[in-house]
A and B are shown apart, each in its own frame.
Chain A
């Protein structure tokens, strides 16, 4: 019980500053220090969001953006995991591919935009590719680093039972590397949200990025601010979901404090 009260107190403390800032923002807007056509107050922004929600437009845009992020994330993360498992396990594959991947990694992912548009057009595929590229690198790097860093003592236990390479990967390497995977997935997902903005700014007919361009072109800053708020909310929700899954999957980890399945006696 005591613990719960403490957590709530911490949460409340964390909310004090944002609430004060919002109040100042609203007061400054109402008084006229912030010009309405540049920075409308939070009430106006929320009003715009509620208006969009009523017409159903907000849902359409949110769904379009979320769909892009999640699809790109799935594609990028899957390729990273499959590819990373191979290069992580087989040293020759690692020596062959890793220098190339490290070189490609140094290219800012946004630099691919013109090429993707040229190759794939301005439609969904170029957007998903861009997000997938953004997600790939952090997931791949963490995954490979994790696999290569697995304690050989565990591998020896498997060796005593004549484990095949597949069994070693499935029963030892993958579970032992899951903590690294989650670090990679969370970074990757964050980048996914970053890249969806870039993807939608470069031309889209739906999505929160499109809403921002619309706000810019129609001089409606409340649309831009509303989209920014939605990005923050969505990014937070997906990250929380990942943290929740991480807690469930990694409950066996000694250092993980969120696990509920701890057995103690």
Chain B
């Protein structure tokens, strides 16, 4: 069953050329989908449209087979930067969108899941980048969204923290804390390690979107030879060779 379906999506900024042109994609239940592309290809715009943060587009977005425009309660979003409110403590940040008496209790439970239980009373300024992003993950998950969208969530983090958080996302997916995941990244290794399927924004005008299935069982080895083969395929699709000469 499709969880998110996009039909004929077209998006233009101002009077310029369309950044997304007649796009059709689908996220299936329990799928981790990676969206890859060079900068400016429209991948962030696509994710913002799926999250409901951008509602100025042509075409249809279906969530659970129902036509939908705008923010959806079943969709959680993790931004590129943690975007924590500096005036709130960690637990208040996680409980930011929650209502009801048990909000802090729920927030603290979630903090336990991202291994930050001792930090509930801290302010964001005292956290490291990785810890802050973990708080942001907790904030997105505390509402138990069925669909989790991530916009280059680990791009600003060091390699070790990044690997750590990738495991966290996989763990959350495995324990069904979030069931379908869409992740934007420009890190091909990350995409291949995490995802079941990659949607690649190519520079080929005839075939702007290409799909790659990653049919390798989890847990995957980061140095897996098959992943390396897929990587060169992705690089080929992205046409990463420089278009300038010295």
Min CB gap B243→A, angstroms: 33
CA distance A175 to B121 in the complex (A): 18
Asked whether B244 is an interface residue with its Cβ less than 8 Å from the other chain, the reply is no
When the two chains form the complex, which single residue of A156, A171, A176, A263 contacts B122, counting CB atoms closer than 8 Å?
Answer: A263
Partner of A161, one of B79, B81, B97, B126: B97
**CB within 8 Å for A156 and B87 given contacts A263-B122, A264-B126:** no
Tell me which residues across on chain B come within 8 A of A172, comparing CB atoms.
85
Q: In the bound complex, how far is the Cα of B81 from the Cα of A209, in angstroms?
A: 55
Residues of A close to B52: CB separation below 8 A: 159
Write out, one digit per residue, whether chain B residues 65-107 have a CB within 8 A of any chain A CB (1) or not (0): 0000001010011010101011110000000110000000000
Q: Which of A220-265 contact B (CB under 8 A)?
A: 251-254, 261-265
B125 in the interface, Cβ–Cβ < 8 Å?
yes
Contacts of A154 in B (CB 8 A): 83, 85
Residues in A whose Cβ lies below 8 Å from that of B124: 252
A171 and B88 alpha carbons, distance in the complex (Å) = 10
Residues of A contacting B62 with CB < 8 Å?
A: none
> If the complex has contacts A160-B97, A262-B126, are A254 and B71 also in contact, measured as CB distance less than 8 A?
no
Do B53 and A159 touch across chains, with their CB atoms under 8 A apart?
yes
Residues of A within 8 A of B83 (CB): 153-154, 156-157
* A162: Cβ under 8 A from any B Cβ: yes
Contact count band on B: 20 to 34
Q: Is A64 an interface residue (CB 8 A)?
A: no
**A262 and B83 alpha carbons, distance in the complex (Å):** 20
CA distance A218 to B126 in the complex (A): 61
Asked if B123 is at the interface of the complex by the 8 Å CB criterion, the answer is yes
Q: Is the CB of B81 within 8 A of A263?
A: no
Summarize B's interface: helix, strand, loop or mixed. loop
Cβ–Cβ contact B51 & A254, under 8 A = no
CB neighbors of B among A134-186 (8 A): 153-154, 156-163, 171-172, 175-176, 178
Q: How far is the CB of B133 from chain A (nearest CB, A)?
A: 14
Listed residue (B52, B85, B86, B87) with the most chain A CB atoms within 10 angstroms of its CB: B87
Q: Is the CB of B122 within 8 A of A175?
A: no
Asked if B96 and A162 make an inter-chain contact with CB atoms under 8 angstroms apart, the answer reads no
Are A254 and B125 in touch, CB under 8 angstroms?
yes
B86 contacts A171, C-beta separation under 8 Å: no
Decide: B81 and A153 in contact? CB cutoff 8 A: yes
CB pair A252–B53 under 8 Å, yes or no, is no
Contact between A161 and B96 (Cβ–Cβ < 8 Å)?
yes
A263 to B127, CA, bound (A): 9
> Which residues of chain B from 142 to 193 have any CB-CB distance to chain A below 8 Å in the complex?
143
Cα-based distance from A264 to B123 in the complex (angstroms): 10
Across the two chains, which residue of chain A brings its CB closest to B128?
A: A265
User: Which among A160, A162, A163, A251 is the interface contact of B53 at CB below 8 angstroms?
Assistant: A160
Q: Would you give the shortest CB distance from B137 to chain A, in whole angstroms?
A: 13
A253 cross-chain contacts in B, Cβ below 8 A? 86, 125
The residue that A252 contacts in the complex, of B51, B77, B125, with Cβ under 8 A, is: B125
Set A160, A178, A262: member contacting B51, Cβ < 8 A? A160
Q: Which residues of B contact A175 (CB under 8 A)?
A: 85, 87-88
Contact of B86 among A153, A158, A252 (CB under 8 A): A252
List 30 A-B residue pairs with CB atoms under 8 Å apart, sorted by A's residue number.
A157-B79, A157-B85, A157-B96, A157-B97, A159-B53, A160-B51, A160-B53, A160-B76, A160-B97, A160-B140, A161-B96, A161-B97, A161-B143, A162-B71, A162-B73, A162-B97, A172-B85, A175-B85, A175-B87, A175-B88, A176-B85, A178-B87, A252-B86, A252-B87, A252-B123, A252-B124, A252-B125, A262-B125, A263-B121, A265-B126
Additional A-B contact list (11), CB under 8 Å, known A157-B97, A252-B124, A263-B126: A154-B85, A156-B53, A156-B83, A159-B52, A161-B97, A163-B97, A172-B85, A175-B87, A178-B87, A253-B86, A254-B86
Q: Which 10 A-B pairs have the closest CB atoms?
A: A161-B97, A263-B126, A254-B125, A175-B87, A252-B87, A252-B123, A263-B122, A157-B83, A160-B77, A252-B86
Q: Which residues of B contact A (CB under 8 A)?
A: 51-53, 71, 73, 76-77, 79, 81, 83, 85-88, 96-97, 121-126, 140, 143
